[in-house]
Amino acid sequence: MVDADNSQDKAIQWFRGASPYIKAHRGATMVMCLPDALLDTPLFNNLIPDLALLSHLGVRLVLSFGLRTQIDSALEKKHAISTIIEGRRVTDDEALKSILTASGRARSLFESRLSMGLPNTPMAGARLSVCSGNYITAQPFGVHNGIDYQHTGTVRQVHSAEINNQLASGNIVLLPPTGYSLTGDIFNLPAEEVSCEAAIALKADKLIFFVDTLPLDENGRVIREASAASMEALAQKQQSDELSRTLLRAIKASRNNVARVHLLSLSDPNALMRELFTIDGGGTLVTAKRWEHLRAAGIQDVNGIIELIEPLQNNGTLATRTREQLEIDIEQFVVCEREGMVIACAALFASTDSGTDSDRAANGLGEIACVVTHPDYRGQGRAGDLIAHLEAKAKSLNLSTLMLLSTRAAHWFIERGYEEKSAADMPATRKIAYDSKRNSKMFVKQL
Ligand SMILES: CC(C)(COP(=O)(O)OP(=O)(O)OC[C@H]1O[C@@H](n2cnc3c(N)ncnc32)[C@H](O)[C@@H]1OP(=O)(O)O)[C@@H](O)C(=O)NCCC(=O)NCCS
């Protein structure tokens, strides 16, 4: 009984934790690229209820699917030779026939799975409406290095208005890896290209690729998050050419206003839900290069930070820090720089007791301070980003608790999970420096 209660409590806690994501995803357009390797695996059956759930939560879903392995095996059975160069198949008449057969089968598979609704299944009563159509205009890929790619094409236009109409009617849109030309010809298209171009044309909030392996950095660690610019340097050095090509598409989409591109592992059955509804996610996130960026502060930022905080020190919002103090503490600061100007800052002091790294870890307590966004740039998530960054840094320093003092931003911190505590509960060593005249409130968050 106790165990059941515990697991229920955990589920309730998880649900509460997921609520900001549920809110954020409602009405969002997500384009997903599903490789056909997925279609015949148990993962596909897992994914279908997840897609249904997303659709019921108000996510506008566009599913693009590939057919590569199915075509390979169909052609193999016919003893037909098929050439793939840099991810593009040379599509002759025989290959095109196989593509059309496989495409019809894949479409029926999606339609049937999304129509499931038997009681006692995760899809009970779900029945979703799926549609497909001539939403992609293609043109021939042509002759490259003397090789005629025949029925292989490239995306010429994505008919986003028609797709948007379907999404607005609550339909899930399926995009097969085929397109039609103005001459009425059918072309085979790489699914990754279809999804990338569709995400750009639809100004999608997310583009999601499912891949065999996630990208690794120079030290062989999975890259969890990267800007398009830093990913570019790593794209060519990946384990497979296919992954490199997917990364290039991810970079292209990010640079063309697709806010977030996610790469998820095909071997993780919960990859999609983990990525969309948990803070740490599980895949790789590629975001657009921002012409402003968040970075650790250096001594060159002291003047910029002073300009930013001085008015707030003068009106009593912030405690006064001298230039000397700031110069000593500069390494604890992170700043948001926009075209050479510091427009937001925040600091993390890893211990209120002493300075050494081991003391910090033993102490487990950090203090957030000096969270400021320039008045012209408020309300766009900058301070939120800085705090998220510092909380991640605190975790990496093995800190378990963060405290802060604030006179005017109580609710801002409460909304980000900080709880008000009595200043009397402050560690004794911190109390020494506490200016009781300011009467700041203390807030604490367990990490
Ligand atoms: C508090 C502060 C850092 C927020 O910066 P920001 O970059 O605008 O923050 P975000 O964009 O992440 O968050 C904006 C949201 O917080 C809300 N907000 C801003 N200041 C707030 C405050 N003092 N109390 C409660 N909510 C506040 C905004 O209304 C906005 O809400 P919305 O999303 O519902 O529109 C900024 O207002 C500031 O510099 N204030 C003065 C300095 C200060 O008091 N710092 C805290 C003590 S260290």
Q: How far apart are CA 172 and CA 177, in angstroms?
A: 16
Are residues 114 and 79 part of one domain?
yes
Are residues 325 and 261 part of one domain?
no
Ligand 1 touching residue 388 (CB < 6 A): no
Ligand 1 touching residue 372 (CB < 6 A): yes
Q: How far apart are CA 32 and CA 386, in angstroms?
A: 30
Ramachandran region, residue 439 (left: φ > 0; alpha: ψ -120 to 50; beta: rest): left
Atom of ligand 1 nearest to the CA of 386: 12
Are residues 216 and 323 part of one domain?
no
> Domain for residue 145, yes or no?
yes
Per the structure, the count of domains in the chain is 2
Ligand 1 touching residue 317 (CB < 6 A): yes
Domain of 416 in residue numbering reads as 292-446
Q: What is the pLDDT of residue 296?
A: 95
Q: What is the 406 CA–ligand 1 centroid distance (Å)?
A: 12
Instruction: Give nearest CA residue, ligand 1 atom 31.
Output: 379
Q: What is the 370 CA–ligand 1 centroid distance (Å)?
A: 12
Are residues 388 and 274 part of one domain?
no
Residue that finishes a domain, picked among 228, 261, 287: 287
Are residues 183 and 47 part of one domain?
yes
Instruction: Give nearest CA residue, ligand 1 atom 34.
Output: 379
Are residues 411 and 262 part of one domain?
no
Ligand 1 touching residue 438 (CB < 6 A): no
> Domain for residue 229, yes or no?
yes
> Domain for residue 4, yes or no?
no
CB atoms within 10 A of CB 138: 24
Ligand 1 pocket: which of 378, 403, 415 to mutate (most atoms within 8 A of CB): 378
Ligand 1 touching residue 321 (CB < 6 A): no
- DSSP assigned state of 336: E
DSSP letters spanning 242-253: HHHHHHHHHHHH
Ligand 1 touching residue 269 (CB < 6 A): no
Q: What is the 47 CA–ligand 1 centroid distance (Å)?
A: 38
> Domain for residue 11, yes or no?
no
Q: How far apart are CA 205 and CA 285, in angstroms?
A: 13
Residue that finishes a domain, picked among 287, 310, 336: 287
Asked if 192 and 150 touch (Cβ cutoff 8 Å), the reply is no
Q: What is the 306 CA–ligand 1 centroid distance (Å)?
A: 19
Q: What is the pLDDT of residue 218?
A: 82
Asked if 127 and 112 touch (Cβ cutoff 8 Å), the reply is no
Strands (E), 205-257: 206-211, 225-227
Are residues 300 and 253 part of one domain?
no
Are residues 352 and 252 part of one domain?
no
Residue where the block lists tokens 């290069």: 289
Q: What is the pLDDT of residue 373?
A: 95
**Interaxial angle between packed helices 68-77 and 93-114, expressed in degrees from 0 to 180 and rounded to the nearest 10:** 130
Residue positions counted in the chain: 447
> Domain for residue 421, yes or no?
yes
Are residues 134 and 262 part of one domain?
yes
Q: What is the pLDDT of residue 2?
A: 46
Are residues 342 and 397 part of one domain?
yes
Q: What pTM, to 2 d.p., does this model score? A: 0.62
Ligand 1 pocket: which of 412, 415, 416, 441 to mutate (most atoms within 8 A of CB): 412
φ, ψ of residue 208 to 5 degrees: the values are -125, 125
φ, ψ of residue 227 to 5 degrees: the values are -80, 160
Asked if 342 and 336 touch (Cβ cutoff 8 Å), the reply is yes
Ligand 1 touching residue 421 (CB < 6 A): no
Rg over alpha carbons for the chain, rounded to the nearest Å, is 26
Ligand 1 touching residue 262 (CB < 6 A): no
Residue that finishes a domain, picked among 257, 287, 317: 287
Are residues 361 and 441 part of one domain?
yes
pLDDT values of the chain reduced to their tens digit, one per residue, 447 residues? 445 568 888 888 888 878 878 888 999 999 999 988 787 676 777 888 889 889 989 999 999 998 888 888 777 787 777 788 888 888 888 888 888 888 888 888 888 888 776 566 666 666 788 999 999 999 998 888 888 889 999 999 999 999 999 999 999 999 999 999 988 899 999 999 999 999 999 999 999 999 989 999 888 889 888 888 788 878 888 878 889 999 999 999 988 889 899 999 988 888 999 899 886 688 999 987 555 689 999 999 999 999 999 999 999 899 999 999 999 999 999 999 875 789 999 999 986 444 454 555 557 889 999 999 998 788 888 999 999 999 999 998 889 999 999 988 999 999 999 999 998 888 887 888 888 888 899 999 999
> Domain for residue 1, yes or no?
no
Are residues 297 and 174 part of one domain?
no
CB atoms within 10 A of CB 308: 21
CATH code at 257?
3.40.1160.10
**Cα–Cα distances in Å, from 21 out to 27, 84, 126, 251?**
12, 40, 21, 24
> Domain for residue 10, yes or no?
no
> Domain for residue 2, yes or no?
no
CATH code at 413?
3.40.630.30
Asked if 64 and 195 touch (Cβ cutoff 8 Å), the reply is yes
